């Protein structure tokens, strides 16, 4: 749909799909985990707080050690930012392809035209209000 080319690495990032969640920076994640854990511990009875702090510290150390090797989040985030810049600069957008997990990169004006054509060809009319509540009441009364 577009003549823009992406690097192999950017294509690999796009192939992860729209539902892929890039891992957060482990250092940031662990700092937030420490703050949230301490806030939760402060709500406990004072005589049990130190025991939970000790347990939490051990678990946080385990989490730190297990996250040291994963640095791909930075590379994926860099690729996503580069893709965003390319899309914005060329007035492109990413859309899901019909009935699959594939994605399509399409010009925004072309996409708008396709949407308008679909609406006109299928005689779709805009409703002034949401009819969902009325339909749900009718279904409940019928049941």
Contact 96/103 with Cβ under 8 angstroms? yes
Task: Using the predicted structure, report yes or no on whether residue 48 has a pLDDT greater than 80.
Answer: yes
User: Domains in the chain: how many in total?
Assistant: 1
Nearest C-alpha neighbor of 17 from the set 80, 67, 71, 85: 80
Residue 1 lies in a domain: no
Q: What is the pLDDT of residue 41?
A: 92
pLDDT digits (tens, 9 = 90+) for 124-142: 888 888 888 888 999 999 9
**How far is CA 25 from each of CA 10, 17, 61, 75, 122, rounded to the nearest angstrom?**
20, 20, 16, 11, 47
**Per-residue tokens: 84:** 């965003």
3 in a structural domain: no
User: Does the pTM exceed 0.85?
Assistant: no
The strand pairing partners of 95, in sequence order, are: 104
- The answer as to whether 2 is a domain residue is no
What does the alpha-carbon distance between residue 131 and residue 143 come to, in Å, rounded to a whole number?
Answer: 19
Closest to 22 (Cα-Cα) out of 78, 95, 101, 67: 78
Q: Is the pLDDT of residue 104 over 60?
A: yes
- Domain that includes residue 104, residue range: 8-142
């Amino acid at each position: 749909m577009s003549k823009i080319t992406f690097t192999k690495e950017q294509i690999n990032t796009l192939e992860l799909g729209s539902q892929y969640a890039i891992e957060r920076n482990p250092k940031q994640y662990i700092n937030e985990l420490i703050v949230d854990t301490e806030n939760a511990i402060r709500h406990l009875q004072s005589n049990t707080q130190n025991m939970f702090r000790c347990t939490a510290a051990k678990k946080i150390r385990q989490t730190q050690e297990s996250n040291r090797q994963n640095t791909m989040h930075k590379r994926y985030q860099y690729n996503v930012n580069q893709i965003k810049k390319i899309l914005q600069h060329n007035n492109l957008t990413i859309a899901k392809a019909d009935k699959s997990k594939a994605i399509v990169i399409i010009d925004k004006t072309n996409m708008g035209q396709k949407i308008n054509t679909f609406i006109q060809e299928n005689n779709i009319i805009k409703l002034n209000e949401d009819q969902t509540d009325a339909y749900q009441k009718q279904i409940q009364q019928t049941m």
